[in-house]
Amino acid sequence: MKFNRKITLVVVLVAMLLTLIKVSVKAQQDPMYTQYMFNTQTINPAYAGTWESVGFMVLGRHQWTGFEGAPETYTFSMQAPLKNERVALGANIISDKIGFAKRLYFFADYSYLVPVSEKTNLRLGLKGGFTNYSHNLQDHTIIDPEDPDFMGNINSLKPNFGVGAFLYGKKAYVGLSVPRIINSDFQDDEENFKIEGQLRHYFLMAGMVFDLGENIKFKPTALTKASFTSETGTPLQLDLTGNFLIKEKVWLGAMWRSGDSYGFIAQFLFAEKLRIGYAIDFPTTNLKNHSKQTHEIMVSYELRFKKEEVVSPRYF
């Protein structure tokens, strides 16, 4: 309980601090996920190895269905511990499309385990890879067909790296990460059109699990995302979720994302290896007048090579 109380204090203090910071509003750049609490590795390399097994996760997200050019995101992640059990490796491939713009992310993860106490571990992680941005500017319908800003084509590859830390016990965690540290732009062949390709974002996440009875548990989680670049910062965004675990088999919960949407989550566990999750979001912005829901499906599977008499349940 002491560990849980410390996490609670940290989360409350940091949330209060970040809420006071003013940042300017810009368009969505990085993919967002409603089931982020089961998809942490994409933004925090230190999460690799926490499953203590070889694990695979795929996720598909269709945002703002019914809205032309709405974001579509497909994600594949894997993680695996090495013979040195303190070291784990991971990989992430993300395809993200918004309108005519496409981003393809390829990143590898390395994490190292630092035991803190008998029941608490700290993992430190490094992320490295590259992003390919492609955008055929001539696909746009414009007033002046001779506009030089829309005559070119962008197909650019930029490297990047990130860092993360993940402090966790069996029923609580806190994570802090910067998945892409280098700020970079993408531009067309003629250097007439330029777009902010990769901005440095900071992520703070936390969660706890409470026993409410013999067959039910409650897990509140929080994720805060922000960029503090003076001219191109993104709005501070806070995701809050509350999920109930019923008989160690079914997760049911709800989500609220500040200034954006609310939604519901359901996840089913099969033999403690296979997980299938579904989430639906409803916009709270003006987009609700032009688009329908956001749908997200996630599937994960774990391969355990060690024969264990009792497999400890994994809550995040």
pLDDT for res 291? 63
Q: Could you read off the pLDDT of 106-120 as tens digits, one per residue? A: 999 999 999 999 889
Instruction: Establish if 39 belongs to a structural domain.
Output: no
Taking phi over 0 as left and psi of -120 to 50 as alpha, with beta for the rest, 15 belongs to alpha
Q: Could you read off the pLDDT of 145-202 as tens digits, one per residue? A: 665 666 667 778 889 999 999 999 999 999 999 999 988 777 655 555 666 667 888 9
pLDDT band for position 311 (cuts 50, 70, 90)? low
What is the pTM (predicted TM-score) of this model?
A: 0.85
Reduced to 3 states (helix: H, G, I; strand: E, B; else coil), residue 19 is helix
pLDDT band for position 19 (cuts 50, 70, 90)? very low
Q: Give the CATH number, domain containing residue 98.
A: 2.40.160.40
Helices (H), the chain: 2-19
Instruction: Establish if 309 belongs to a structural domain.
Output: no
Structural domain including 164 reads 2-20+46-303
Domains identified in the chain, total number:
1
For 226, residues 6+ apart whose C-beta sits below 8 A from its C-beta are 18, 21, 23, 201, 202, 233, 234, 235, 236, 237
The helix or strand, by DSSP H or E, that contains position 112, with its residue range, turns out to be strand 101-115
pLDDT > 80? residue 290 = no
Instruction: Establish if 26 belongs to a structural domain.
Output: no
Mean pLDDT of the chain: 82
Q: Could you read off the pLDDT of 23-77 as tens digits, one per residue? A: 333 444 577 899 988 889 999 999 999 998 999 999 999 998 877 778 899 999 9
Around Cβ 299, how many Cβ atoms within 10 Å?
Answer: 13
Instruction: Establish if 82 belongs to a structural domain.
Output: yes
Instruction: Establish if 25 belongs to a structural domain.
Output: no
pLDDT band for position 137 (cuts 50, 70, 90)? low
Instruction: Establish if 231 belongs to a structural domain.
Output: yes
Instruction: Establish if 140 belongs to a structural domain.
Output: yes
Instruction: Establish if 27 belongs to a structural domain.
Output: no
Q: Could you read off the pLDDT of 92-104 as tens digits, one per residue? A: 999 998 877 888 9
